[in-house]
Amino acid sequence: MPVELIESRTLRFGHRHFLPIMLSPMAGITSQPFRQLCLELIDEYCTQYDTQSTETLAGIFVDEMVAARAIAGKISKVRAKATFAHNERFRSLQLHCTDALWAQTAAFQIASERLADHIDLNFGCPVKKVTKNGGGSALGANPDLLRAIIHGVKRGVEEGCDNNSEAVLPISAKFRIGIDDDDVHFLRTAEIAVEEGCELLTLHARTAQQFYSGKADWSAIKLLRDTVPKEVLVFANGDILTLEDAIRCVRETGANGVAIGRGCMGRPWVFAELSEYYTTGSTFALRPKLKEVVEIMMRHLELTVSWVKAQGNSELAAVKLFRQNIGPYLKGFNAKEVKMQMLKAVTVLEIDQAARQLDLEQDYPTALESLARGRSRSQKKVFLPPKW
């Protein structure tokens, strides 16, 4: 049913125009095969949108996080993972940085070698192995280093583009509300990011201590949007699992767009729903039967195997990498025993044979549509470097 569109149909970021949609980067999830699949589904299901012909791009689909030091050190294994599919017309790469010099060097190489068209900076990851070394969400608690890193990236990009303003890659930053309820610093982080040249800010409206538990505080997103200059884009992240969530979040917060992370796990068609909404005003919800879900899942597996083999690795490595997606795809369906078989599979054939045992005519479990996917976990202690 057509409805009144929320305010922003398209956005300008850098020198390109986009639908106000972002695939939020997730380690091990938003690799090239998944992003390629998301764009294929937009082409398949959107009635008035062609990802390859329209001037307005379908959104910003960000690669999983890569370490600046690995890019700067030209580590081939890491660079091989940070690749883009043929249907990605705007290549977004997220950097994990803990040192300003490495950040600048990595940004220079990305820009000069045109490894990507956009750099997103990770200041939000709450995982121990990242924060204990001063990365991810730990950086919000160290404003001097945060500023130095963004400044270094901006300088590296400008130098890599020979100071040609038309070629300079846009920079964005993703961050959390703070470390915990006693250390809330997202407005300070935003101020520094804007002063150092970030054109887009994504706020995951949880603290690092919350991890992925509890409820996202959308009021913080509204405060951020009301505080930073209007020309700076603000994207909302956290508890946006459906098209309805996205519409409600933008209306409540005034955010320019939405960044979807766990909400797209096992549901890559959510970006097709959003694309259809922003191009036609239709709030159609694609609720596929299990047959269609399995077809999408097997296409995801096919793309994963092809991508992993292109890096010189085996089918077994591809299947092991893919298995984390099986649970989200089958969530809510009557598929418990088959799912267990798939999770033990070591070949594509074994997954395919298991899938043939399913009742493929099962309807989509709409009652579970608004439940979080992936690991929610409980609140966790945030590990920071000594004397941080």
- For the stretch 12-30, pLDDT in tens is 999 999 999 999 999 989 9
What does the mean pLDDT of the chain come to?
A: 93
Say which DSSP state 384 is in: -
Last residue of a domain, one of 233, 260, 280: 280
Cα separation values, 297 from 23, 38, 153, 311, 331, Å: 18, 12, 37, 21, 12
- From the candidates 46, 97, 125, 264, give the one annotated as an active-site residue: 125
Q: Are residues 294 and 272 in the same domain?
A: no
pLDDT at residue 77, rounded to an integer: 86
Q: Which tokens in the block code for residue 123?
A: 């200041």
- 110: pLDDT confidence band, cut at 50, 70 and 90? very high
The number of distinct structural domains making up the chain is 2
User: Does any domain span residue 307?
Assistant: yes
Per-residue pLDDT at 372 exceeds 70: no
Dist. CA 245–CA 372, nearest whole Å: 12
User: Does any domain span residue 212?
Assistant: yes
- Each residue of 191-243: pLDDT tens digit? 999 999 999 999 999 999 999 999 999 999 999 999 999 999 999 999 999 99
User: Does any domain span residue 387?
Assistant: no
Dist. CA 358–CA 241, nearest whole Å: 26
pLDDT at residue 39, rounded to an integer: 97
Q: Are residues 235 and 330 in the same domain?
A: no
Q: Are residues 266 and 303 in the same domain?
A: no
User: Does any domain span residue 114?
Assistant: yes
Q: Are residues 229 and 298 in the same domain?
A: no
Beta strands in 63-216 (DSSP E): 66-67, 92-96, 118-123, 171-176, 178-180, 183-184, 200-204
User: Does any domain span residue 244?
Assistant: yes
User: Does any domain span residue 65?
Assistant: yes
Q: Are residues 69 and 171 in the same domain?
A: yes
Per-residue pLDDT at 7 exceeds 80: no
Per-residue pLDDT at 387 exceeds 90: no
Q: Are residues 109 and 227 in the same domain?
A: yes
- What number is the average pLDDT over the span 349-374? 87
DSSP string, 188-217: HHHHHHHHTT--EEEEESS-TTTTT-S---
Other C-beta atoms within 10 Å of 263: how many?
25
Rg (CA), the chain: 20
Specify the pTM.
0.94
pLDDT at residue 165, rounded to an integer: 67
pLDDT at residue 2, rounded to an integer: 39
Which has more pLDDT, 170 or 378?
170
pLDDT at residue 1, rounded to an integer: 36
Active site residue 125: yes
Q: Are residues 350 and 232 in the same domain?
A: no
pLDDT at residue 50, rounded to an integer: 81
Dist. CA 91–CA 25, nearest whole Å: 13
Of the CA atoms within 13 Å of residue 153, those in its CB half-sphere come to: 30
pLDDT at residue 52, rounded to an integer: 83
**Which of 52-56, 65-69, 297-301 is least confident?**
52-56
**Which of 106-115, 336-345, 368-377 is least confident?**
368-377
Q: Are residues 160 and 178 in the same domain?
A: yes
Output the domain CATH number for residue 184. Answer: 3.20.20.70
Last residue of a domain, one of 246, 280, 314: 280
Q: Are residues 162 and 31 in the same domain?
A: yes
Dist. CA 69–CA 92, nearest whole Å: 18
Q: Which tokens in the block code for residue 173?
A: 């930053």
- Each residue of 114-139: pLDDT tens digit? 999 999 999 999 999 999 999 999 99
- Each residue of 298-326: pLDDT tens digit? 999 999 999 999 999 999 999 999 999 99
Say which DSSP state 367 is in: G
Q: Are residues 35 and 105 in the same domain?
A: yes
Q: Are residues 346 and 241 in the same domain?
A: no
User: Does any domain span residue 374?
Assistant: no
Q: Are residues 215 and 299 in the same domain?
A: no
Last residue of a domain, one of 280, 309, 330: 280
69 within 8 A of 99, measured Cβ to Cβ: yes
Domain holding 307, by residue range, is 290-365
User: Does any domain span residue 379?
Assistant: no
